[in-house]
Structure formats: C-alpha cells, structure tokens
Structure 1
Amino acid sequence: MMARASSSILIFIRQNPRTCQNPNTQIRNLTFETKDGDFKPNPIQEPSQKAQNDFIEIAKEVSRITRTKPRWEQTLLSDFPSFNFTDPQFFNELIRNQNNVLLSLRFFHWLCSWNGFSPDPLSLNALFDALVEAKACNAAKSFIDYTGFKPEPASLELYIQCLFEGGLVEEAFDVFDRLRGVGVCPSIATWNSALLGCLKVGRTDLVWKLYKEMVESSVVAKVDVETVGYLIRAFCEDNKVSKGYELLRQVLEDGLDPGNAAFNDLISGFCKERQYSKVSELLHTMIAKNRDLDIFTYQEVINGLCKQRKQLEAFRVFNDLKDRGYAPDRVMYTTMIHGLCKMGWLGDARKLWFEMIQKGFIPNEYTYSALIHGYFKVGNLEEARNLHKEMFNRGYRETTVSYNTMIAGLCLNGRINEAHELFEEMPRKGVFCDVITYNTLIQGFCKEGKIVESTNLLKELLMQGLQPSTSSFSPLIEKLCEVGDIQEAKKLWDDMQSRGLQPIVCTHEHIITGLCNQGYAAEGMDWLLAMLKCKLKPKKETFERLIQCLSQSDKWDDILLVLDVMFRTGYTLREGICHSLVNKLCKENSHFVKTHLGEIVE
C-alpha cells in the first residue's frame, strides 16, 4: 500500500494552489435508480438449481455460436425455439462464458432489436462492467449514450479510470463531475488515475484544476506519494522545476519515498535549465537515501548533458554507469555516440559502436546517422559513404533523417552540388523534404556565395507550405549584407518578422555591419539602439565597426554614446581605433576635444 503524505506535505500542497476547472461525470454498476433518484439494489430472485444449470449450458452453446457463425442473428431463435433470451440471469451467464465483450454487446443489440424489449438494470450493469473491465472505453461511452442508464457510483470510478487510461480526458472529467455531483468523493486511486491521464495528454492545466479540487475536498488528507509524484512531474512540465524540487524535499523530510520517477523528472528538468549543481544534489540525495540510480536516471543525465553541449561530462557519467554494473541500452549508446561525434572524438565513438554491437544491440537508423555525421565532421567522406551504404544493405529504408545527414555532411565539406543532387533525388524516391533539408542547403549555397540558388530554395520552401524557421532566413541575410545588397537583406528581415520569427543576435549585427559598409551610419545607429532596447548584446566588433562609420560622418555625439554603452558592456576599444579617433578629433575639431576631453579620458 502507498504511504500517506504527512501533514507538512499537505501544508505545502495547500500553500501552492493553482486555478482549477471543475471535472464532469458519467456512471456504472450493478444497481438501478429509482424514480426518486436514489440508488437501490436490484431485486433478484434466485433461480432453481435446474434452471441455473440450463442457463449455464445454453450460455456456453450460444457463446460458441456467436463466435463461430457470422450471421447467427438469423438462426438463433430457431435453434432455441422455446428459450427466453431476455431473462437477465441468462444474459449474466452469457457474459461470464463469452470471452469477447464486444460479442456480448452485439448480442445485447440483437435483443434490443425485438419489439417491446426493455433491458433490465442487471443486464445493463453487467454488460457495462464487462466493457469497462476490458478497457473498451469508447464502447462503454457509446453504450451509456445508447441506453441512457445510470450506473451506480462504485462502477463510475472504474469507468473514470478507463476513460483517463484511454486518453478520453474531457469525457472522463464529465463523468468525474457527475459523480461528485451526487455527493460521492472519488477514491485516491481515481484521483491519481485522473492526474496521470492528464499528464499523458500534456494537459497540466487540468492537473492543476484537479489539484485545486483535491485541496478543497477531504481527499487531500489521503494524498499519497503517487499523487506527489504526479504533481512533481506537472511542475517540471510547466518549467517550474524548483517548485517540484521543493515538494520532493518536503516528501523526503517526512520520511516518504516518492520513487525514482520523481527524481528522474527533476533531473531532466534541471538538465534543460542547465542547473547542473541541482542535478548533482539530486544524484547525491539518491545515493544518500540508498536509492539505486537506475538506467533511466542515467539516461536523463546523459541526454541532458549532451543537449547542452557538455558531452565530456556526459561521457564521464556514461562510463560511471558501466562501472556501476549497469548495461546501457541502444538509445543510450546512440546518444553517447552522437555526442562524441559532435566533439570530433571519432575514435571513442567507434569504440562504443563496436562495443554496442558486441553486446547484441543492432545499430538503428539514428545510430548510423550519428556515426556518419562523425565521419563527415573529420572530413572522411569515403567512410561516411560506406557506412551509409551499409545501413541500406542492412534493410533500413531511405528516410528524411538519413538524407539530411548526408546532405549536411556534404555541405560541411564543400560538396554542395552533390548535396543538391541528393535533395533532388528525395521526391523521386518518395522521401519527404522537411525544413531542415531546405535550411541545410540554403546555408550550404550561401557559404559558396550562391545567393540565387539559396533564394530559390527559400521560395520553394514557402511554396511547399512548410513553416520556415529563423535559420531559413539568417544565412541569406548575412550573405546579402556581405555583398552589399542591404536593401534586399532588409526585405528578408521584414518577411521573417511578419511570419512571427525572431532574428538571432548575429542577424542584427550583420544588418548593422552591412549598413556601415554602405556608409549608412545614422541607420546603423538606429539598429544598434533597437538591439539594446531588446536587451541583446552586440559583439565588440559590431561596436567598433559602427564607431568607425560614425567617425567618417563626424557624428561625435553618437560616437560618445556608443563608446559609453560599449564600455558599460565590458568591452575595451582597440588601440588602433582609439588613436584614429583622437587624431581625427585633434585635426578637425579641437574645440570638441577641449570641451569633452575629461569625458573622453574617463
């Protein structure tokens, strides 16, 4: 049995309320509703032993017929001319003997097709219970809609859990509300099923609605560590990892064990936030609490470190994993091989490749792609092509991922024409070109100075109905600024922003540099001020290029402003530029030097 949360945990829960939405309800059980709306046990008369035996035998035979005869509805009455199929005792026996609840449902609909037939509460509840037990939540929902009956509260709870497990969250909330509407407080197991169901479909907003309902009801006194685990996961998914950590620490202080899943959720969350000191705290806490770090804990740490470009630390954790006796799986090997290849540690990546194969893990498409990328990164095109060929010889189909890997590798090594040939081959082989495919080629052509080809690819991307990214525009804007076509670069900038895409810092800087190269000092100053307003930090070279351009136009007030911002940012001015500014001032504006000398020296 799950441990109950102590009063201090309940205090934490109550002190962290979230806005909630009322759940809703629908119901099921072996009782019926009276005219007054009360639930009463169904009056059942015990049949004689002989009648009961007859029911059993006929139910077995009818079950066999409904399983084996495609059109049994047309012959069943003639097979049993004197038998009363509408007897609820028989229907219950049929459900017990029929190993397919949907066939029982079909039999029920056959009965309902008779004129004057009215299903009794016992049959309705028995069939409904069987549908829920079989996790046939859609069929159970349709059954309630079709019959209009109201199961009793005890059956409703299992139905709610069935709906949540089946992903029918809104329907489950309807049933939940109806259950609470008749004054029934669901069990903690039902609340937990609801929390988990909401998490599975990514609806943390509904988690917090339930959470508020729990705080406001007596069920909060029954909160167990399973509940706490789901709340921690919801905090992490809402990017409130510190809140989740606070709850975990409270649980641990109260001597409760939330399980490794809660630790893993927090480790993953802190890895995303790059709070590696917190990751270390969690790992040490697990060790101090004698919790074994399982394979999933290591996976979260390694994956998080690799995503944050801390592959060396990830490799250390990976080796520690093996030293502790754990066996990495294919996913972890692939993650680590990819991380090592990005660092250029191809030798170590190859060792892991062969170690993985030796341990019985067959490389998949993603493992192949990771190592192929590694070969391209060190310029070994021949081995990259050989490995690509081996992948398809092993039966892997050509996919967008495999093509993107080859295209990116060829572009990296200046083989843009070969990369473009692969791009043109993709639709002929029925492989989808995604935005990554286009972005990679756009960048590749821009590096080669082929602006027309890059522009055509961007237009094609948009015509295909794909959603462009910032990387679709940035290389072109950079290259256009470099060649002096600043007006076209600004048009692309406007297009990008009109699509809701936010330019990265270097794109701002390319525009400023491009304007300065064309002698547009005042406009360059405006763009710099816009950057600073957005709290973006330009590079030192951008400040210096703008200062040089402003000095050519004798805009000394602007120069002082740029210098002030530059120094406050922590940069220093190159000695050559400083001498140039002083000489120019002394020659052309001695009065300015006299009046502002102290400010300049400071």
Structure 2
Amino acid sequence: MMTMLLRRRTTSYFRNLTTETTTQQGNCDKDQNFTQILNEICTITRTKPRWENTLLSQYPFFNFSNPNFFIHYHNHQKNSFLSLRFLHWLTSHCGFSPDQSSCDVFFDALVDAGACKAAKSLLDYPHFTPKNASLESYIRCLANGGMVEEAFDVFVSLKKVGFLPSVSTFNVSLLACLKVGRTDLVWKLYEHMLESGVVASIDVKTVGYLIKAFCAENKVFNGYELLRQVLEKGLCPDNTVFNSLITGFCKEGEYTRVSEILHIMISVKCNPSIYTYQEVINGLFKRKNAEGFRVFNDLKDRGYFPDNVMYTTVIKGLCDIGWFGEARKLWFEMFHKGLVPNEHTYNVMIYGYCKIGDFVEARKLYEEMCGRGYAETVVSYTTMISGLCLHGKTDEALSLFHEMSRKGIARDLISYNSLIKGLCQKGEIVKATDLLHELLAQGLEPSVSSFTPLIKRLCEVGDIEGAKTLLKDMHDRHLEPVASTHDYIIIGLCKEGNLTQGMEWLLNMLSWKLKPKEQTFEHLIDSLTQEDSRLDDILIVLDLMFREGYRLKESLIHSLVSKFSKENFHFPNLFLEELV
C-alpha cells in the first residue's frame, strides 16, 4: 500500500514538473523568437534601402502593431532617425498608433539627438502631449537649431499651462535670436520673462544679451546706459558684451565712449583681451582714423603679443589711410617676430603696393606668395586688377583678367565689377558694356556696383537714354540704385538742356526720401539761370536746396542776384537777405 502511494506521488510530481518545464520552454522559445525577429528587422531597416516595400511580406504573421515592439525596436536600434522612419512606416502600413509612453520616450530621444524638426513632426500624433520638462528641452533644441520663432511659440504654450522655464532656457533662446538677427524676438522674450515673473532671477547673461540686442539695432547708447545700471548693482558682463559696445561706438565715431569702456573694463577687473583691442583698432581704421595705429603701438608697449590677424588688420588700415611706409615696417616686423604672413596678409600688402603704383614690387610679392604654397586665387588676381585700374592701366588689368580664365580660376562678381569700374573711369564704355553682358551670360547675379559706373559714365558723355535703360534694368532685377545714381541722371539732363525733366527727377528723388548732392542742386540752378523765364523754377530749387541744409557758393549768389536784377524780379527783401 505504501509502495503504491509513493509511486502515485512520484508519477504526479514528474507529470507536474514536465508540464511546468514545457510551459517555461514555450515562453523561452517565444522570447527567443521575438528577439530574433527584432534583430532581423533592425538589420533589414538599417541596411536595405527600400525595405518598406517588402517587410510585411517577409513577416506576414508578426504583430507589428504591438506598442512594446516599437519601444524595443528603438532601444535596440539606437538611432533616432531610423526609428522615426520606422515609426512613419508603422503608422501608415500597420495601423500602429503609439501610446503616450512610447511617444514620451521617443520625443525625448529626438530632442537629445538635436533633431528638432523630427521632434516637431512627432507632435502631430493624436493624443500625444509632451511633458513640460520635455518641452523645455525642446525649446533649447529649437533654439540651437535656429528655429527661434517655433521656440517662442513653445514658450507661449508653456505659459498657458502655468509652467515657467528656467532662466538658462530663456538665455539659450535669447542668444539664438541674436545669432539669427531677430532682435524683435529678443524683446518679446524679455517681455515674456517680465510677465512670467522670472525677471527676479535674471542673471548677468540675460542683461548681456539685452545689451547686445541694443547694439545690433544701432542703439548703442541704450546698451551703454543698461551697462552702467548693471555695474551699479555689482554685476559685470563678459568681454563679448563690452566688445559689442566698443564695435557699436566705433561705428558711431564715439571714440571717447570707447575709451570710457576700456577704462571701465580695467576698473572692474575684466581686463580687455587682445580681441577687445582688435575691435577698437579695426573700428578706428574703418573710420580712416589713424588713432588705431597709436592704440596698436600702446598695446605692444603693455606686453600684449599681437597675432597674424592683428598685424594684418593694422597693415590694411595703414594702407587705407595712405601710410604705406608704416605698413611696410610692420610687414618686416612680423617676420622679425617669427610670424609668417598668411594669404590675406600678402594680398593686403600687394594691394598697398598697387595703391602707390609700384607694380614691380606688387608682382614680386605675388610670386613670393605663390612660392610659399599659397594658390593663385580670385582674391589675389582681383587685388592686382583693382590696383592696375586705379592707375588707369586697364590693358594690363584686362590681360590679368583673361589670364584667370586660362588658368582655370573662376572670375567672380567682384573681379568683373572692379574691371567695369576701371574701364568706365578710363572712358572705355564699349569694353565695360561688353564685360557687363559677359557677366550676365556667365550666370552671375549683377550687383548695384555692376551698373553704377556705367550709368555715371554714360551721363557724363551725354547718353542719358542709355543710362536710363540701365537704370530700368536695375529696377527689373530688384536692385535699388544708390542716391548718387539719380544725381548723375539729373546732371546729365542739365547738360543736354532738358531742365524740366531734371526738375521732375529731383522732385522724385526727394519723394523717395533720397538726398541729392549739393552739386546736383548747383548744376540745376546754374542751368536754369542760363534760360529766360525760369525764375520761378530757380526759387523752387533754391527752397528745396535750403531745406536739405545746403548753402549757396558766393559765385552762384552773385550770378543769381545779377539774374534777378536784370529781370526786374520783385521778391521780399527777407528772401534776398537769406539768399546772401
């Protein structure tokens, strides 16, 4: 009896054990099968170019719509862009709709990968609402990708749900707006910060971006005032903020303010860097101010070691203001200090030699540059062409221009424009016109500088209709002529005696908010005095001239008084006094 009972219990135990083992083995096989298929699908979608057309037929019984499968796929693939492509395929071919958790994981992965456009496409899925923290990361992703308008929209959305992003997120967005030139969004974001109550936490970076925004809008005095307020509170922006103010004041010619900022930097122990001084020197030389050379020498006396870029900036500035002797000294000083000039430095010195007409030395330096391994480029050729044209050597300039083509160096718009200007100055209108046609035939987009020299020369030789045709061509190409172009037309009309049209053109200029040159008024008045019955027109032009802030030359005053006296023209004594 005991034996039979033991036999039954033993049989039952082994039957149960066999059943459990079979179930576990089935689950194990199922997991192995799932993993195997997952690996295969990941390999296929990663290696085959058009897998979308065949994947369903390869796995007809596999459940692609299982939400867990996509998460496993994404985790295994470790490539957000491949996962996004696979997700689009799942939704369009398998009726798959990712759940909230799947979207959360994938959205964060795309944002972390910097794929802001891909993350944006995920927002189109129904019933998916990213977490607030994810949206804040998304803002930073958009800002870093330059999508500043989209970033601002997310700020607005978060404000509606009462979520306040961190100051650092605001700062990332402010910086991005500055980089793409959207200062309007800088102020909108700042207003958003004020309304959200985050203003109490604004740090010095925020203030720095606001100062830079002022400088970008040419409101450098507003930026300077904000800087003073910040300094009074014990905050000090970084060097880049000071550099922006220095650049802005250099543009305005406010060098006293530049000096103040340098002293402020030293006083708050934010010592000016070599790049700060470079901004000062560059700004001064752009204004043709020799003070830049003094600052450069002071810089060396204080123990700074200027680099190639600084030397090149100063050499170019000295060449621009006509101090070529000093520029040449700096050239040799560079070699003495072990600084090897780069291609740009060589071109600057070549330009300097060309400017003074020493083409023998310019050519020697050009050959030396090539000997140092710098390739012949359109920049170096254009430098020589511009210098030759400056001294009327248009035949040699044309020879170099054709040499570029033979050597396979592409001629750009600047090289064409330089030669067109030189030919016009020499009076070779036909050759200049041919070059303009060649420029257009090459598929290059002309600029205002392509037309202006030709228009000026045509007006000087009396071909006003030809000048008008070119002006119309400019308008058709949506090129806005500079004000002086209209001056050329008016003076040309005066020379050919078409004074009525000249006056009409003058009135049009003023209606377009363009300021005619003083010589334009003088030409028109002088031409009107040569004709009878134009006294009323003279008074009209005089009135317009005075409104523009110009004054008459003494010789023209005598001519007008004589004209009015001969014509017995009666006008108030007050006007005569103003005229004189």
TM-score by length of 2: 0.74
In structure 1, which of residues 460, 477, 491 is the aligned counterpart of residue 438 of structure 2?
460
Per-residue deviation, 1:229: 1.2
- Out of 465-474 and 339-348, give the one that drifted further: 465-474
Pair 356,141 (structure 1): closer, same or farther in 2 beyond 3 Å: farther
Aligned position for 2:233? 254
Residue identity in the other structure for 1:476: L
8 Å contact 2:483–2:514 — kept in the other structure?
Answer: no
Aligned to 1:362: 340
Which of 184, 189, 198 in structure 2 is aligned with 1:219?
Answer: 198
Gap change, CA 1:144 and 1:323, over 3 Å in 2:
farther
Q: 2:188 aligns with which of 209, 212, 216?
A: 209
Structure 2: runs of 5 or more not aligned: 1-37, 49-65
Structure 1 regions of 5+ residues with no counterpart? 1-61, 73-85
Contact 1:451 1:476 in 2 (8 A): yes
| Cα offsets for 1:232-276 (capped at 9, x unmatched) | 222222333233223222211222112222211122222223333
The answer as to whether partners of 2:80 and 2:113 remain within 8 angstroms in 1 is no
**Alignment partner of 1:234 out of 204, 207, 213:** 213
Alpha carbons 1:104, 1:127 under 8 Å: kept:
no
Aligned ranges 1:523-538 → 2 under 5 Å: 523-531=501-509, 534=513, 536-538=515-517
Asked if structure 2 preserves the Cα contact closer than 8 Å seen for 1:543 and 1:566, the reply is: yes
TM-superposed deviation, 1:506: 4.0
Asked if 1:570 is matched to 2:551, the reply is yes
For 2:458 and 2:138, locate their aligned partners in 1 and report how far apart those are by CA, in whole Å: 62
- For 1:235 and 1:171, how far apart are their aligned partners in 2? 23
The answer for the alignment partner of 1:268 in structure 2 is: 247
The reply on whether 1:377 has 2:355 as its aligned counterpart is yes
Q: 1:320 to 1:470 in 2, by over 3 A?
A: same
Identity of aligned residues (%): 56
Alignment partners' CA distance in 2, 1:416 and 1:255: 61
Contact 1:544 1:573 in 2 (8 A): no
Alignment partner for residue 222 of structure 2, among 227, 243, 252?
243
Structure 1 position 447 matched with structure 2 position 450: no
Larger CA deviation: 236-245 vs 352-361: 352-361
Distance (Å, rounded) in 1 between the aligned partners of 2:422 and 2:377 = 21
* Higher mean displacement: 590-599 or 342-351: 590-599
CA contact under 8 A between 1:441 and 1:454: conserved in structure 2?
yes
Query: Which protein is bigger by CA-based radius of gyration?
Result: 2
Structure 2 distance, partners of 1:234, 1:553, is: 55
The corresponding residue for 2:377 is: 399
Evaluate the alpha carbon distance shift between residue 518 and residue 147 of structure 1 in structure 2; reply closer, same or farther with a 3 A threshold: closer
Distance 1:599 1:146, change over 3 A: closer
The 2-side partners of 1:180 and 1:579 are apart by 72
Matched ranges for 1:395-544 at <5 A: 395-531=373-509, 534=513, 536-540=515-519, 542-544=520-522
Q: Give the Cα separation in 2 of the matches to 1:578 and 1:197.
A: 58
Q: Is the 8 A contact 1:179 1:185 kept in 2?
A: yes
CA distance in 2, matches of 1:103, 1:584: 83
Shift of 1:193: 1.6
Q: Residue 200 of structure 1: CA displacement?
A: 2.6
Distance 1:130 1:495 in 2: 53
Structure 2 distance, partners of 1:539, 1:503, is 18
Matched, 1:386 2:364: yes
Aligned-pair CA distance for 1:379: 0.7
Which residue among 158, 173, 194 is the counterpart of 2:173?
Answer: 194
Match of 1:43 in 2: none
Q: With structure 1 as the length reference, what TM-score do the two structures score?
A: 0.72
1:197-248 CA-to-partner distances (Å, cap 9, x unmatched) read 2223333333233222211112222111111111222222233323322322
Structure-1 separation of matches of 2:230 and 2:560: 64
Higher relative contact order (CA 8 A, sep 6+): 1
Residue 299 (structure 2) pairs with residue 318 (structure 1): no
SS in 1 for 2:162: coil
What is the aligned partner in structure 2 of residue 56 from structure 1? none
Please give the alpha-carbon distance, in whole angstroms, between the structure 1 residues aligned to 2:495 and 2:507.
Answer: 18
Distance 1:122 1:104 in 2: 19
SS at match of 1:484: coil
Aligned length: 522
Cα distance, 1:373 vs structure 2: 0.7
Q: Distance in 1 between matches of 2:461 and 2:373?
A: 46
